[in-house]
Amino acid sequence: MQIPSNKIADIKKYFVNTLTDLYGEEEAEAIFYYVMEYLFQFSRNAYLLHKSTTISESELLKVHFILKKLKKGIPLQYVLGEAFFMGMKLKVNPDVLIPRPETEELVDWIIKNHPSENIESIIDIGTGSGCIALGLKKFLPQTKVYALDVSKAALQIAQENATINKLTIDWIEADILSPQMKLNSNFSIIVSNPPYVTNAEAASMHKNVLENEPHLALFVPENDALIFYRKILTIAQNYLRNKGWVYFEINQYQASEMLELLKNFNFINIELKKDISGNYRMIRGQLNKN
């Protein structure tokens, strides 16, 4: 596979044509503009000013290298090694999920509901890249934020992201499914975006997700799809303060089951929230120990 010309306009045409079968023309074009900004620091709006520009052979090799990986279905964020979340640049690799816009909506919901001075501590369970914990710490700087994950590799990436963004998080390596799992604090808020995809739903997922993103962070047993939510709510009985809150990102097809689950664990003021696409993707509830 060779890009036929060093001119930006010709590179765009070849780039988009190469990726259209995999991503569709509109997304392929959006990926092209992202790559141009990453490599050459000019935005989509500036493309018309640069389309006649000729790049060097070494720069063309960089484009070729990225395009070759994208053609294999490797997600753009993994190819470039970065993603953006709540205005932060985060390092990502196949040890962590790529942060999604819906997760930004979850973090924004917490920030809007809880001014920093009223929330003493938050724990993010299953932190992955650290995006939720870091987003909360960025916008609730007075709050003590903890982040837990079972994956040592994921925690290493999350810690690097904290350093990059100059934010302080308390990190915990633990398996919440282990009976020996203990925490050392009582929290004001527990938040999680745990695995919730069933194997039956995998068939409808884009192959670049299935073949590249960590299955540990995606999939749950078909016969126990709420296993992580149930365990986190069990943990909340001991480690969430009375009248404290849980916030979850959820599978839109499990919204009614999640409502019942929170009720069964003595949560009140339960609220489902739709994402920007109109799907129920978030839920919160307040613990009532009385």
pLDDT tens, position by position, 204-238: 545 554 444 454 444 556 566 788 899 999 999 99
Of 116, 103, 129, the closest CA to residue 249 belongs to 103
- For 6-57, how does the pLDDT look when each residue is reduced to its tens digit (9 = 90+)? 899 999 999 999 999 988 999 999 999 999 999 988 888 888 888 888 999 9
pLDDT (tens digit per residue) in 128-150: 999 999 999 999 999 999 999 99
- The SS3 call for residue 283 is strand
What number does CATH give the domain 86-287? 3.40.50.150
pLDDT at residue 170 in the model: 97
Find out whether 99 and 165 touch, Cβ atoms under 8 Å.
no
Q: Are 248 and 213 in contact, with CB atoms under 8 Å apart?
A: no
Q: Residues 174, 178, 180, 186: is their CA dihedral positive or negative?
A: positive
pLDDT (0 to 100) of residue 215: 46
**Mean pLDDT, range 167-180, rounded to an integer:** 93
Distances (CA, A) of 232 to 37, 125, 190, 201, 256: 40, 8, 8, 23, 18
In contact, 124 and 136? CB cutoff 8 Å: yes
User: What is the chain's mean pLDDT, rounded?
Assistant: 88
Tens of pLDDT, residue by residue over 253-279, are 889 999 999 999 999 999 999 999 999
* Contact (CB, 8 A) for 193 and 168: no
CA distance 247 to 259: 12
If pLDDT is split at 50, 70 and 90, which confidence band does 184 have?
A: confident
